[in-house]
Amino acid sequence: MAEPTTTTTRPTKIIAGADEFGTPLKDALVSHLRSLDFDVQDLGTSSYYSAGADVGRLVSQSLSDTRGLVACGTGAGVSIFANKFPGIFATTCLTISDAINARSINNSNVLAVSGKYTSPVTAINILDAWLNTPFKSPCPANHNEPWPEHIQSFLDNSLTEMPEIGRQNRNTETPIDNCAVCCLVQNRELNPIDLIPGGSMKIIRETPTSAFVKFKAGSVEPAHHHTFGHDLVVIEGKKSVWNLTKEERYDLTVGDYLFTPAGDVHRVKYYEDTQFFIKWDGKWDMFFDEDLHVAHQAIDKELSIVT
């Protein structure tokens, strides 16, 4: 999962997406970015729910030199859905001043633009200002003057404080009262399904596309893959996921989110009794790529090297 970026230079990669109302403007901006030799991943056209969410998720999982560009009719919807993902600060910008303020004050890493109300020429100027403005730089909100020392200090601290808003209770044993997933599973008894030693699963929706899952401390999921991508959020406990396809490791604890694409081979270790909510697309399947003994050996070897 991506941590809040502290980068003050221009990004090297842009991930772009739009709904049908924002696509013409998005296409114009993608062409402009490519003319400037940016690495652009264009996700094309989808509903504004998906366009915002897909860009937000991918930027959330990327390195700090990656930012996002989203467009819909007003720029508001795609911004809302991009901001559902950890470490994403998506801002709708209708003017150049909006873009400079968003970068300077909010360290915005996803730009949302309006296909109905912004011309391509204006949008290109907005995009250029957003790309070229460093975090904490002078901006229209401060009459283009340097920030006072106490504001500079506030902005520095905001990089760690902003992502924690709404997650203040993440280290407590009591579920957060206003968490829909936690409320859904409170006081439920799980009927175990023995998919993997030490694990149990119960489907908690009428259609089999999501589950609330519990694993015992010390459990290991051998390397496996699915024909679908899946999202998960950790409700309790601590686990590591090794994505062997991407050669990446994710250490997850309460409140952390992870998306694993279809076909990616991954291995999992549970350090504590762990509960998580998982949602997938398509019919559930699981194909093992190694046996449990091999998985334990691989994990033990890596953890011994780290320690």
Q: What is the CATH number of the domain that holds 242?
A: 2.60.120.10
Work out the burial of residue 93: count CB atoms within 10 Å of its CB; fewer than 13 is exposed, 13-18 middle, 19 or more buried. buried
How do the pLDDT tens digits run along the chain, 307 residues long? 344 333 446 888 999 999 999 999 999 999 999 999 999 999 999 988 889 999 998 998 887 789 999 999 999 999 999 998 888 999 999 999 999 999 999 899 999 999 999 999 999 999 999 999 998 888 888 888 888 888 888 887 877 777 777 655 444 444 444 454 555 455 555 555 555 665 666 655 555 688 888 888 888 999 999 998 999 998 888 999 999 999 999 999 888 899 999 999 999 999 998 888 888 887 778 888 988 889 899 999 888 875 4
With a CB cutoff of 8 Å and minimum separation 6, the contacts of 190 are 200, 201, 202, 212, 214
The rounded Cα 232 to chain-centroid distance in angstroms is 11
Residues 154 and 224 in one domain: no
Strands, E, within 11-59: which ranges? Answer: 13-18, 39-45
Of the candidates 135, 164, 193, which is a domain's last residue?
Answer: 164
Host domain of residue 120: 13-164
Number of domains in the chain: 2
CA distance 237 to 52: 29
Task: Find the CATH number of the domain harbouring 100.
Answer: 3.40.1400.10
| Within a domain: 240 | yes
Which residue(s) pair with 266 in the sheet?
A: 224, 243
Of the candidates 164, 191, 223, which is a domain's last residue?
Answer: 164
Tell me the one-letter amino acid at 286: M
The count of residues in the chain is 307
Residues 151 and 287 in one domain: no
Looking at residue 191, its pLDDT comes to: 53
Looking at residue 142, its pLDDT comes to: 82
Work out the burial of residue 33: count CB atoms within 10 Å of its CB; fewer than 13 is exposed, 13-18 middle, 19 or more buried. buried
Q: Are strands 90-92 and 199-202 parallel, antiparallel or unpaired?
A: unpaired
Q: Are strands 257-260 and 238-243 parallel, antiparallel or unpaired?
A: unpaired
Going across the sheet that includes 248-253, the strands are 248-253, 238-243, 266-270, 220-225, 287-288
Residues 153 and 225 in one domain: no
| Phi-psi category of residue 144: left, alpha or beta, with phi > 0 → left and psi -120 to 50 → alpha | left
| Within a domain: 6 | no
Tokens found for residue 290: 């190694």
Looking at residue 186, its pLDDT comes to: 52
Residues 153 and 219 in one domain: no
